[in-house]
Amino acid sequence: MFWFKRRKPTEGVELDLSDKDRGSLLGITCVGKRDGGGAQVHAVMSALLFSRVNGIPYFHSPFERVSHSGNPKAFAAQWERAFNLGLGAPRVPKGVPVISSEDFNQGYRGAPSIVAAQNFHGFAERNLGFYPALADELRNRVVLPPRTFETPTIAVHIRRGDVIGNAKYTHRLTDNAMVLANIKHVLGRHPHHRVLILSEGAPADFGRLTEFCDFELNSDVFSTVSAMIRADCLIMAKSSLSYVAGLLSRGAVYYEPFWHGPLPSWHRLPNSE
C-alpha cells in the first residue's frame, strides 16, 4: 500500500485517468475555490462534464465561501440555491477517504476514495462539444429571478467593478471602444434588436454607448445572469459569469476570447483583442 501526505486540492492539477487502475477511484468532487460565484459554478460544471463523459460518479460539495459580498458564507448559500448543481448527487460520505488529484496521479492504491479537485477545466477544454447536452440538463435546475424582454434584446456583459484601477486584472478589461465595435458587429447581424448593457458604475462611464444602449447597472447578480441567459443574443465579457450564462443560453452567443475556449456554436468576435 502507498502512503501519502494528504494535500488540499490545488488549481490546475488535472486528474489523469490514463493507464490508471480505477479500482481505488470511487468518484470525484469539486471543492476548494473561494473566488466569485460565476467561477465556482463553472468549476462544478466542469466536474459534472468530467463525470458524465468518463462515467465516474460525482459527489457534490456545496459552495463554502463566495467572494464579492460582505458575508461570503451566506452568499455561497445563495449561489448554491440559485444553480442547484447538487440536485440528485450524493454528498461525500463520512469515513470515505478524500484525496487530491496529485495523490491519485502518483499511483494511489489505498481504499476506494473520492478525488477532490478545484476544477476539471483541462478536460472540459478538450471536450467543449459535450457541454450543450449537460447545459440542457442544468438549465432546468436554475432558480433565478425570471427575466423577459418585450423586444428582441442583445445583452452585453461589460466587466467593470473589480477590474477598474486594478493592475492585476487589466487583461480582463474590455474598453468602451472595443465594446462599441463588438456591438456594431452584432447589430449588423441583428439590426432591429435592442441593446442592453449589464455592468457596474454609472452611465457616464460608458461614453458613446449611452447614445443607443439601455443600461442595467449595479443590479443583483442573480437577476443580471438571468438576463444574460434569457436574452436573444449575448455578448460575453472575459468573465466566468459570462461564460456560465453563455453555456446556459439558448440564444446566439458572441464570444470574446480569454482562457476558456468557445463552444462550437458560439461566434467569435472579430474585433476582440
Quick one: average pLDDT of 212-234?
97
DSSP 60: B
Q: How confident is the model at residue 195 (pLDDT cuts 50, 70, 90)?
A: very high
Choose the weakest-confidence range: 36-40, 51-55, 108-112, 245-249: 108-112
Percent of the chain with pLDDT over 90: 77
Contact residues for 118 (Cβ-Cβ < 8 A; gap 6+): 9, 10, 11, 12, 30, 31, 32, 33, 43
Instruction: Report d(CA 210, CA 249) in Å as an integer.
Output: 26
pLDDT averaged over the chain?
90
The yes-or-no verdict on residue 39 having pLDDT over 80 is yes
Quick one: average pLDDT of 119-140?
97
Per-residue pLDDT at 166:
46
Between the alpha carbon of residue 157 and those of residues 68, 260, 273, the distances in Å are 17, 16, 16
Which pLDDT tens digit goes with each residue over 10-28?
Answer: 666 789 888 766 778 999 9
Q: How confident is the model at residue 4 (pLDDT cuts 50, 70, 90)?
A: very low
